[in-house]
């Protein structure tokens, strides 16, 4: 029987504190948004349900043996592909994209769960190399593993999630031992690929407008650039201490549109109401989350645990940089949520499951 002291030592309280702090930011901000406009709906109450469900999932995952998941890689990968294919048969359209499946009144987004499933399956594949990427063959195999999932997500279309998967793969390849020369070659290839995308206009029209507005926000101030301009105004008007909780005028008066202020642009609401101080506290919690994540990676007993933790950490780093970056105008608008803060059931459940995996790796670091 495990002694209470030993049981406590196997819990990463810093990680849990960061998650609870970020979800608290989410619930308070969403409650503020819902007070400002009837059109916003009871987002805080729904998010609270997702948080509660996520905590249950987190606890269950934390007590499983993550190393056994390696034996089910074909089934996990097949389930990932299956969900992304099924969405084109029974998926629901919303905001011009077919990304959601609805079953019995419950709607979820398979591409959100694809992030964590790719971490598990790509981690199992790279773990066989035991920290040594021997050559380009291993890199091409990793790319071939992720490419079908990325392609299915791009068809929805969902460029933001596709970019997250690329960031996950990049982070896991670095953790797996990719060489600096190989990183340089891949970086140059990425630069060329981006140039070809622009040259041949391979993106959707609305995606091209977002990139154009990012380069010059004044080119369409009342159209594609409207959300960005209102977000910058909201954050700037918050000053050091903010206008006060439940007192943000940009959201309450609908200058920041109801369709985006609870999801992609929730940081703008936080910046306006809680100011620089509130934003700094949120970023401190994010930093704590990431520090604990990569510490767990370093403490992992095997390469699989290390790769899972690094994949999760890479996912969160990319999402935080892009989401907050787009609200202040230093990143293009891509529809990427802020982990644990933006409204969304699929995102919350996936992120909580990811925390459960990290706690699982931490519990088994000595066994």
* 294-349 per-position pLDDT tens digit: 999 999 988 999 999 999 999 999 999 999 998 988 888 888 899 999 998 899 99
> E-assigned strands of 70-122?
92-94, 97-103, 106-108
DSSP for 132-162, please give it.
Answer: ---SHHHHHHHHHHHHHHHHHHHHTT-HHHH
Mean pLDDT (the chain, rounded)? 86
pLDDT level of residue 37 (50, 70, 90 thresholds): low
Tokens of 298: 């370093």
Q: Kindly state whether residue 1 falls inside one of the protein's structural domains.
A: no
Those residues with Cβ within 8 angstroms of residue 198's Cβ, 6 or more apart along the chain or in another chain: none
Rounded to an integer, the average pLDDT of 122-131 is 85
Q: What is the total count of domains within the chain?
A: 1
- pTM value? 0.91
Tokens of 92: 């629901």
Q: How many CB atoms neighbour CB 189 within 10 A?
A: 10
Rounded to an integer, the average pLDDT of 257-271 is 86
Q: How many CB atoms neighbour CB 27 within 10 A?
A: 17
| pLDDT tens digits for range 199-213 | 666 666 666 666 666
Strand arrangement, sheet containing 97-103: 92-94, 97-103, 106-108
Q: Kindly state whether residue 2 falls inside one of the protein's structural domains.
A: no
Least Cα distance to 267 among 219, 316, 228, 213 occurs for 228
pLDDT at 253: 74
Q: Kindly state whether residue 6 falls inside one of the protein's structural domains.
A: no
Q: Kindly state whether residue 125 falls inside one of the protein's structural domains.
A: yes
Rounded to an integer, the average pLDDT of 113-141 is 88
Rounded to an integer, the average pLDDT of 143-169 is 90
Tokens of 319: 């999402």
- Whether 222 has a pLDDT exceeding 90, the answer reads no
> Which residue in this structure is represented by tokens 């095997």?
302
| Rounded (10°) angle between helices 303-327 and 345-363 | 140
Those residues with Cβ within 8 angstroms of residue 351's Cβ, 6 or more apart along the chain or in another chain: 54, 339, 340
* No. of helices (H) and no. of strands (E), the chain: 14, 3
CA 323 to the chain's CA centroid: 9
Whether omega for the bond prior to residue 104 falls within 30 degrees of 0, making it cis, is no
- Whether 4 has a pLDDT exceeding 70, the answer reads no
Alpha carbons 202 and 148: distance in angstroms, whole number? 18
Q: Kindly state whether residue 108 falls inside one of the protein's structural domains.
A: yes
Those residues with Cβ within 8 angstroms of residue 9's Cβ, 6 or more apart along the chain or in another chain: none
Please give the residue range of the domain that contains residue 169: 12-363
Q: Kindly state whether residue 5 falls inside one of the protein's structural domains.
A: no
């Amino acid at each position: 029987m495990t002694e209470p002291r030993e049981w406590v030592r196997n819990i990463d309280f810093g990680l849990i504190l960061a998650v609870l702090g970020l979800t608290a930011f989410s619930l308070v901000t969403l409650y503020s948004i819902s007070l400002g406009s009837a059109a916003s709906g009871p987002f805080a109450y729904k998010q609270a349900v997702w948080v509660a469900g996520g905590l249950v999932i987190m606890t269950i995952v934390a007590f499983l043996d993550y190393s056994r998941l390696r034996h089910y890689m074909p089934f996990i990968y097949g389930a990932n592909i299956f969900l992304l294919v099924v969405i084109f048969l029974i998926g629901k359209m919303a905001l011009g994209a077919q990304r959601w499946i609805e079953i019995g009144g419950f709607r979820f987004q398979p591409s959100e769960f694809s992030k964590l499933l790719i971490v598990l399956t790509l981690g199992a594949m790279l773990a066989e190399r035991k920290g040594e990427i021997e050559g380009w063959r291993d890199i091409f195999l990793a790319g071939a593993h992720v490419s079908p999932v990325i392609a299915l997500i791009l068809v929805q279309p969902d460029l933001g999630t596709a970019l997250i998967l690329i960031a996950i793969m990049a982070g896991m390849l670095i953790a797996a031992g990719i060489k600096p020369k190989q990183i340089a070659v891949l970086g140059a290839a990425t630069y060329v690929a981006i140039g070809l995308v622009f040259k041949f206009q391979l993106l959707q029209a609305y995606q091209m407008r977002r990139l154009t507005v990012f380069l010059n926000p004044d080119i369409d101030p009342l159209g594609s650039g409207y959300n960005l301009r209102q977000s910058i105004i909201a954050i700037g008007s918050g000053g050091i201490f903010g206008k006060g909780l439940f007192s943000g005028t940009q959201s309450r008066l609908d200058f920041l549109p109801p369709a985006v202020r609870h999801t992609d642009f929730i940081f703008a609401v936080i910046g306006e109401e809680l100011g620089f101080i509130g934003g700094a506290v949120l970023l401190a919690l994010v930093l704590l989350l990431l520090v604990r994540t990569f510490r767990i990676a370093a403490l992992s007993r095997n390469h699989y645990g290390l790769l899972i933790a690094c994949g999760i950490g890479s996912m969160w780093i990319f999402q935080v940089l892009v989401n907050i970056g787009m609200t202040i105008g230093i990143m293009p608008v891509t529809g990427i949520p802020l982990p644990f803060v933006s409204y969304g059931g699929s995102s919350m459940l996936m992120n909580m499951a990811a925390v459960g995996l990290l706690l699982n790796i931490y519990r088994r670091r000595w066994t």
